[in-house]
């Protein structure tokens, strides 16, 4: 939908409901966005027009929009107005690859290999994988895209005796699919999730800006025999990516 033509959301509210009016407006907008009725990139009508059309106060409408901005569903752009943001990649915390997760979400994954080399295992890698310090490992660095947009930088270390890797393979499919083809069955992983701000080098790689929020993940994956097969150190743009957890009561 061209941004020159503002989208008119189908907002409905129940004034007799105990649910706050701003939240009802936000829920209606969210339904229109998630259903695709208001697509990514579409510009919403301005707050004044929306408030007048709904017979609501401007602060109520502004609060609804701010709620969706804070959730990452809308974004304000100077000179343009309020637009629907591109959907985030929401990744479940499971032993899966980003490539497969993107495919499952009907996104188009692609990769650019920034580095593929055989190097002596750094101390932290050797310790994580349970191999000797200085033992040869593949050092792989890839830039992962979702629908052509930079999403993450993936740095992995894999023992060279596990399988052979080359650039065309790594750009055509995910690392875990290559493991599977080599008969390597992943069983479990230890994973740490964190956050930091982007450096100038990070921003140049992912097309963001310095001090942008990044999500980080360090993962050590093990096969069915308890052998360390991968150490990963990744970072993702927080504006387009999130981790999802399922928490069960004890």
Residues contacting residue 66 through CB under 8 Å, at least 6 positions apart: none
In a shared domain, residues 95 and 167: yes
The DSSP line for 92-104 is ESSS--HHHHHHH
Across 240-244, average pLDDT: 74
State the chain's mean pLDDT as an integer: 86
CATH number of the domain enclosing 139: 3.40.1410.10
Q: Tell me which H or E stretch contains 59.
A: helix 58-70
Identify whether 187 is part of a domain.
yes
In a domain, 1, yes or no: no
pLDDT beyond 60 at 83: yes
pLDDT at 89 over 60: no
- State whether 129 and 209 are in the same domain: yes
* Whether 165 contacts 116, CB under 8 Å: yes
Instruction: Kindly report the pTM of this predicted structure.
Output: 0.64
Q: Is residue 250 part of a domain?
A: no
Q: Which tokens in the block code for residue 192?
A: 């740490």
In this structure, the answer to whether residues 132 and 71 fall within a common structural domain is no
Compute the distance between CA of residue 167 and CA of residue 176 in angstroms, rounded to an integer: 15
Instruction: Give yes or no: residues 170 and 46 share one domain.
Output: no
pLDDT of residue 171: 94
Do 186 and 136 belong to one domain?
yes
> What pLDDT is attached to residue 146?
87
In a domain, residue 2? The reply is no
pLDDT band for 90, please (50, 70, 90 cuts). low
Report pLDDT digits (tens) over 185-236.
Answer: 998 888 888 999 999 999 989 888 888 899 999 999 999 888 999 999 999 9
Domain containing 41 equals 21-84
Q: Is 26 helix (H, G, I), strand (E, B) or coil?
A: helix
**Percentage of residues in the chain having pLDDT higher than 70:** 91
Among 38-42, 79-83, 103-107, which stretch is predicted with the lowest mean pLDDT?
Answer: 103-107
Q: In sequence order, which residues have a C-beta less than 8 Å from that of residue 157 and are 6 or more positions away?
A: 121, 122, 125, 129, 137, 138, 139, 140, 230, 231, 232
- Residue 48 gets which letter from DSSP? H
Does residue 193 sit in the same domain as residue 218?
A: yes
Residue 15 resides in a domain: no
58 is a domain residue: yes
């Amino acid at each position: 939908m061209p941004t020159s033509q503002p989208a008119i959301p189908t907002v409905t509210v129940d004034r007799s409901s105990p649910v706050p009016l701003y939240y009802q407006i936000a829920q209606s907008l969210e339904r229109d966005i998630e259903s695709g009725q208001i697509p990514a990139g579409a510009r919403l009508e301005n707050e004044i027009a929306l408030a007048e059309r709904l017979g609501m106060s401007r602060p109520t409408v502004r609060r609804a929009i701010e709620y969706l901005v804070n959730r990452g569903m809308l974004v304000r752009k100077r000179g343009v107005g309020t637009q629907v943001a591109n959907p985030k990649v929401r990744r479940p915390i499971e032993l899966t690859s980003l490539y497969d997760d993107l495919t499952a979400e009907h996104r188009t994954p692609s990769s650019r290999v920034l580095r593929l080399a055989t190097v002596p295992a750094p101390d932290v890698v050797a310790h994580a994988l349970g191999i000797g310090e200085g033992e040869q490992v593949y050092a792989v660095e890839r830039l992962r895209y979702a629908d052509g947009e930079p999403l993450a930088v993936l740095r992995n270390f894999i023992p060279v005796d596990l399988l052979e890797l080359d650039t065309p393979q790594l750009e055509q499919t995910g690392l875990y699919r290559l493991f599977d083809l080599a008969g390597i069955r992943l069983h479990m992983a230890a994973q740490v999730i964190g956050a930091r701000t982007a450096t100038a080098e990070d921003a140049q790689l992912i097309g963001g800006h310095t001090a942008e929020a990044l999500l980080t993940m360090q993962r050590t994956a093990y096969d069915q025999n308890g052998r360390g097969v991968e150490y990963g150190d990744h970072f993702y743009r927080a504006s387009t990516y999130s981790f999802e957890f399922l928490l069960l009561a004890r």
